[in-house]
Amino acid sequence: MISLWSALGVTILVGTVQAALDIVPGATWTATNTGEHIQAHGAGLIEENGIYYMIGEEKTDGSAFQAVNCYSSTNLIEWSLEGRLLSRTEEAGDLGPNRVIERPKVIKNDQTGQYVMWLHVDSSDYRDARVGVATSDSLCGEYEYRESFRPLGFQSRDIGLFKDDDGSAYLLSEDREYGTRVIKLTDDYLNVSEVTFGWEYFAESPALVKHQDRYFIFGSHLTGWDPNDNVYSHAESLEGPWSEWTEFAPVGSLTYRSQVNYVQPLGTDKAIYMGDRWEPNNLGASTYIWLPLKFDGTDVTLDWYDRWTVDVEAGDWYDSVDVTAQEGEDGDLSNGGIVISCSRCTGSEAAGYLGGDEDGTVTFNVDVESDGRVTLVFKYLNGDYNSRFAAVSVNGQEQDCAFLSTAHYSTGTGNSVVHVDLSGGVNIIVVSGSTGWGPDIDQLLVPNI
Ligand code: DGJ
C-alpha cells in the first residue's frame, strides 16, 4: 500500500507501507538496469498499456549521432533501458558517422498499426536541415529508417510531433529562413501534407499539448545549447489565431536552466514539463528538468521543486514528504574512506576516498518509522569529466549508482538519486566502490516515512 499526499503536503496513511518515490530535477538519474545515467536527451514520451516509453538521444560521446534509445517506466520515476531503436551505421548516410540526429518523437498510426518516428536529421554544420522518418511494428523495438527530406521543401531543424484526438498528426518544425510551423502529416504519418499554421517567430524545440480543448505550444529561443526563458502560445484551433508568445517560468531563471523537449499530459487537467539541462561541453552529462506545469485558464506557470512526486494512476502530482539529511562525514568510514575537507559541502566536510583500490566505504544507519520504497538523494562532488560510480547497498540489497561530473559546477554540489526499499526501523546503507573512485559524499537525504 500506499500513502497519499494532498497538494498541501498533508500525509494520509493507508496501511503500513509508504511510498516516497520522487522526481529530482537536475539529478543524475541512473537507469535501473545499466548503472549509468539515462541517455534519452531531447526525448519524447509515449504511453502504451500503462507503460511509459521515453525515446531520446544517446549523447555519451558528444553531439554526433550515436543512437536513439528507449527506456520504460510504469511510474515515470524508475526507468529501465529497453534498447536502441536506431544506431549509427558504419557507412556514410543519414545515420552514419558525424551526423546529427536529434529530438526523436514517436506516435502510433492507429490505421496502419505502425509506430512512426520523426527525427531532426542534419549534417554536423546543421546545413542539411531535414526531417527523417523511421517505422516499426514494435514501439520499443528496432526501427527501419526510411528517408530524410525537407518538409514541403522548407528547412527544418528542431522538431516536435503532435497527435490530436481525431488521429490527425502534425510535425512542428523550426525553419531558420522563416520561423516555426505546424505542418499536417499525411494519413499514414509518413509524409507531410500542408501547413496548418506558421509563425514568423523562431520557437526551437517545439512541444505541443492539448489541455482542456485548447492547444498550448511551448518552445525556446535560439541560443544553441545555452538555456533561455522559454515561451508558450495557445489557441482554440491549430489553425489559430494563436496568442502572443510569453514566458511561463520566472523571467531570468532561463526556464530553470533548461530547454523544453516534451510536455506530458497528466490525468485530465494536469501536465508535466520536460526539459533538457544541456551541458554543452559534456552533453552526455546533461540532466532532465521535469516539473509540474500549472494551468489556470490560459495562464501557464512553472515553479521549482527540489523534489516532487507523481502518481500516474491518480493522474496527479504532489509535494514530497520532508527529508532528513545525514552528513557524509558522520557516516562510518572504513577501508580507504576518510573524512575530507570540502568547501562546497555542508559542514565543509565530506566522505572521500570512496571506492578505489582499497574500496573506501561509508555506512549510514537510517531509522524510519514504516516500510516503503523511497528515493534517496546523494549530494556529492565528482571533479572528473566522466561519471563516477558506487555500489549502494540497502540492508544487503545492492545496486549501482552513477554520479555525473560536477566539474562544470561553479557552486554547490550535485544530486544523484537511487530508488530503494526501506524497512521500518534501522536500515544499513553502505556506499562502496563499483568501478574506480566513487564520488565524495556530502550528504544523504532520506524521506521521513
Ligand atoms: C538547439 C537545439 O534545440 C538543440 O537540439 C541542438 O540542435 C542545439 N541547438 C545545437 O546547438
Both 333 and 191 in a single domain? no
Q: What's the sign of the alpha-carbon dihedral 226, 53, 116, 231?
A: negative
Percent of the chain beyond pLDDT 70?
96
Q: What is the DSSP letter of 34?
A: T
pLDDT tens digits for range 149-197: 999 999 999 999 999 999 999 999 999 999 999 999 999 999 999 999 9
Q: Which of 248, 265, 289 is the last residue of a domain?
A: 248
CATH at residue 376: 2.60.120.260
Asked whether residue 17 carries a pLDDT value surpassing 90, the answer given is no
Q: Which of 248, 281, 308 is the last residue of a domain?
A: 248
Q: Whose CA is nearest to atom 10 of ligand 1?
A: 224
Close Cβ partners of 80 (under 8 Å, ≥ 6 residues apart): 31, 32, 33, 71, 72, 73
Distance CA 356, CA 246 (A): 50
Asked whether residue 102 carries a pLDDT value surpassing 70, the answer given is yes
Ligand 1 pocket mutation pick from 100, 123, 158 by most atoms within 8 angstroms of CB: 158
Number of structural domains found in the chain:
2
Q: Which atom of ligand 1 is nearest to the CA of 259?
A: 3
> Is residue 272 in some structural domain?
no
DSSP lists the bridge partners of residue 99 as: 123
Both 237 and 342 in a single domain? no
> Is residue 242 in some structural domain?
yes
Q: What confidence score (pLDDT) does residue 367 get?
A: 97
pLDDT tens digits for range 317-327: 999 999 999 99
Q: What is the mean pLDDT of residues 103-122?
A: 98
Q: Which of 248, 271, 305 is the last residue of a domain?
A: 248
> Is residue 15 in some structural domain?
no
What pTM value is reported for the model?
Answer: 0.95
* Domain span including residue 409: 323-447
pLDDT tier, 5 (very low <50, low <70, confident <90, very high otherwise): very low
pLDDT tens digits for range 53-68: 999 999 999 999 999 9
Distance CA 237, CA 214 (A): 7
For ligand 1, residues with CB inside 6 Å are 42, 102, 158, 204-205, 224-225, 259
Per this entry, what is the length of the chain? 449
Ligand 1 center to residue 323 CA distance, Å? 36
Q: Which atom of ligand 1 is nearest to the CA of 122?
A: 7
Asked whether residue 12 carries a pLDDT value surpassing 60, the answer given is no
Q: Whose CA is nearest to atom 9 of ligand 1?
A: 224
Distance CA 357, CA 290 (A): 37
Ligand 1 center to residue 346 CA distance, Å? 36
Ligand 1 center to residue 230 CA distance, Å? 14
The pairing of strands 144-149 and 41-48 is: unpaired
> Is residue 298 in some structural domain?
no
Q: In angstroms, what CA-CA distances link 419 with 372, 401, 416? A: 10, 10, 10
Asked whether residue 9 carries a pLDDT value surpassing 90, the answer given is no
Ligand 1 pocket mutation pick from 102, 120, 228 by most atoms within 8 angstroms of CB: 102
